[in-house]
Amino acid sequence: MPLAGPVRQAGSISLVIPCYNESANLRPLIERATRMLDTLEGAPAWEMVLVDDGSRDDTALQLTLWSAREPRLRSVLLSRNFGKEAALTAGLKAARGEVVVLMDADLQHEPELVPTMLAHWRASADVVYTRRVDRHTEPMFKRVFTRLFYRLLNATHPRVRIPADAGDFRLLDRQVVDALSQLPEHGRFMKGLYAWVGFRSVEIPYTPSARASGRSHYRLRQLASLSLSGMTAFTTWPLRAASVLGVTLALMALGYGLWVTASYLLWGSRISGWTTIVVGMMLLSGVQLLSLGVLGEYVARVFEEVKGRPLYIVARELGQGIGSGRTGE
Ligand code: UDP
Ligand code: MG
């Protein structure tokens, strides 16, 4: 998209970074991000909101030390590990900037891309998100799984399209941040929520770097659980699919019954159907259990939501960030 001339100027910017066991990455991350923020066009006031998601290493301690040294570094320490989606939500709530950029702590999201995102924002985009173009380096199963997941997720949702390959590395305008924090749900599938709130979005293609240190927290089990929560939060077609499957099977059974009766009456043939009975029974009980499982997923989700527990608990908040009086000079 060609960039138009600047129409708005960011007075303040927040970087929101969820951190779980990232102690080895914090120093390079903070140094690189600070360098980038200090050289931004128009010298906006800035803050970094680092959310410690109940790390088991010394991430929390390091964040405490950093915040004491640099008041523009704010640390939100959660009381335990709540998961990335909750940590992001906590960071978004704490952020005070006019523009908020979400990024990972492992330097897969390069801070140097932020000026480009800001340029798009100035040219009136409210959301600037990055789309991964490097999927070929991922394991085969993950690629197939991701493609299938987004295909199913977007199967019936003409109004809200959740873009595949869109990452959490994104810039959000204040309006979008406020809209997101109005959404009360607990099963937070952030990629879906960004799409749900809408606003003018621009996509920039991007190749994430390798993780600086440590390894990904998302393995098959976490990915499966995240996708399940995305499915139940954004589509109800699996419920309908269960009904359609039921109706189809019932019709097939009816047809088969008619055929058996007719062939008995017309030709007097009796079917000695041990196989038919066993296969039929197994198929039916499989379909029934499957439908029950689908139903169960939705009921579980309703249960999670009605409990109304908070999404996360903040144990401590440190640093001052924007509004401290020391920023924006
Ligand atoms: N993260 C988190 N809580 C968790 C798991 C991950 O805050 O329970 C953070 C993590 O510190 C990192 C980001 O989420 O900043 C992305 O995690 P990771 O790099 O493990 O995922 P991947 O890049 O493989 O998607
Ligand atoms: Mg990562």
pLDDT digits (tens, 9 = 90+) for 238-254: 888 888 888 888 888 88
Closest CA to 44 of 80, 5, 72, 78: 72
Q: Which residue has the tokens 């140094």?
A: 31
Q: Is the pLDDT of residue 305 over 70?
A: yes
CA 99–ligand 2 middle distance (angstroms): 23
Decide if 172 contacts 134 (C-beta within 8 A). Answer: no
- 169 Cβ closer than 6 Å to some ligand 1 atom: no
CA 272–ligand 1 middle distance (angstroms): 59
* Residue 72 CB neighbour total at 10 angstroms: 21
For 150-164, what is each residue's pLDDT tens digit?
888 787 766 778 887
Point out the ligand nearest to the CA of residue 218: 1
Q: Whose CA is nearest to atom 2 of ligand 1?
A: 84
Decide if 230 contacts 191 (C-beta within 8 A). Answer: yes
- 109 Cβ closer than 6 Å to some ligand 1 atom: no
CA distance 230 to 196: 12
Closest CA to 229 of 109, 91, 20, 83: 83
Signed CA dihedral, 144, 150, 155, 161: sign only: negative
- 22 Cβ closer than 6 Å to some ligand 1 atom: yes
Q: Is 212 exposed, middle or buried (0-12, 13-18, 19+ CB in 10 A)?
A: middle
Closest CA to 284 of 329, 313, 314, 252: 252
Helix 84-94 crosses helix 190-197 at what angle (to 10 degrees)? 40
Which range, of 101-105, 177-181, 265-269, averages the lowest pLDDT?
A: 265-269
For 15-64, what is each residue's pLDDT tens digit?
999 999 988 889 999 999 999 998 888 778 899 999 999 999 899 998 99
Decide if 314 contacts 79 (C-beta within 8 A). Answer: yes
- 52 Cβ closer than 6 Å to some ligand 1 atom: no
- 324 Cβ closer than 6 Å to some ligand 1 atom: no
CA dihedral 298, 304, 310, 315 (to 10 degrees): -110
Question: What DSSP string runs through 129-182?
Answer: EEEE--GGGS-HHHHHHHHHHHHHHTTT-SS----TTEEEEEEEEHHHHHHHHT
* Ligand 1 atom at shortest distance from the alpha carbon of 211: 19
Run of H or E including 101: strand 99-102
Determine the pLDDT at residue 325: 44
Please give all residues whose CB falls under 5 A of ion ligand 2, grouped by chain where several chains appear.
104, 106, 108, 211
Determine the pLDDT at residue 329: 34
What is the bridge-based pairing of β-strands 166-173 and 127-132? antiparallel
CA 87–ligand 1 middle distance (angstroms): 10
* Ligand 1 atom at shortest distance from the alpha carbon of 87: 7
CA distance 84 to 18: 7
CA 196–ligand 1 middle distance (angstroms): 23
Determine the pLDDT at residue 284: 83
CA distance 201 to 175: 13
ipTM of the complex: 0.94
* Ligand 1 atom at shortest distance from the alpha carbon of 17: 15
CA distance 176 to 193: 10
